[in-house]
Structure 1
Amino acid sequence: MPSIFVLFDVDNTLLNTDLAVERMQARMREEVGEAHARRFWEIYEEVRTAGDSVNIPDTFEAFSLECSDFPAVNRMSELIYGFDFEGCLFAGALPAIEHGFNLGGAAILSDGDQLYQRHKIAVAGLEQAVGGNVMVQKHKESVLQHVTQRFPARHYIAVDDKAGILARMKAVLGQRLTTVQVCQGKYAASRDGALP
């Protein structure tokens, strides 16, 4: 059993998600037009708000049901699933994962939908970097018992951009968890929970 195991978030922790969204929005505007791109991101926000998490498959499904421009729907699918996430990794992402393994072990514990989030993690090269140690859940703080069973260790380090998630994880694992909030991306200045 390793003495330390590091749990990495993905969005705006290892992956510059703000940059990815900016690039994806620009490509959508270029390829399918301003109106379709704008409507896709409006639906994205509606789905995110209703489900309390990002869900690209549900967003795309709703968009495709609403849009009668089938070539645009097909091109949108190609843009979404063919996007270069590896090109949006933060410069220190892979060295941080390597350091986690040097400490004892590392995994990705990400919130999001089971399909697209896993796809994004794989095509960004992150799944390979953590040796397949990937867990994706809608609310990752609710599955920490499963995490500690799958990745047993004496102590855990959680690296995330959201203080609220870190606080909720700390409430579950207590002294067995050290939290690290990375201050990058849109939540960098957010205090959505007390720092644990």
Structure 2
Amino acid sequence: MSARILVAGRSEICRELFNDPEAYGSHIADRLSCINKPAGCLWGSTLLHNGEYPSDWLRWVASEGFMLDKYSSMAVSFKLSRKAKICTIDTVEDYHRLMRKYAKPKYENSEYSSLFKEKVIDWKKLSKDYDAFHLTERAFWEMRLPLSNILECEDGSELCDFYSYDCESWILFNLDCINWGSVINQDVKIKSLYDD
């Protein structure tokens, strides 16, 4: 059974608001690429059926007090179609394997390109081969702030970490991979961890 993905802060999925990675100008895509994130896309986190928070994203929102008004009242959840092509990173080895085909220099179009040998995901290339990307909770914690050289490559370069991600994440490149019959509205009630 596939996981349900929760998109907080929305009561519906609007195609009009969705942009694939190709739709953004290079200046926006390059800026986000430096932190290993794609421009555009639909972001979500796995719907959790146990615990205090409906998803890791909403746990992070509550822990940081981040835009509670937007994210604490409504959400939509769905499953992906059985035919969806999903790129999943669950281990460091998965990430290294992915980057053999989908890596690009972090500062590809910059005067810094010769100074840094860090690699990021080439989201435009990845989005042509996959419908969605999933960074699991295990991979997030293992590669958010790695304490060893686990992201070092054989050629002396290093893979960009996932520090800019706040939690386990789903990124959809293609809305056609959604099982539209599975879409439901979710009531979400969260509050800041710092409220009395």
TM-score (norm 1): 0.26
TM-score (norm 2): 0.26
Q: Considering fraction of residues, name the structure with more strand.
A: 2
Q: Considering fraction of residues, name the structure with more helix.
A: 1
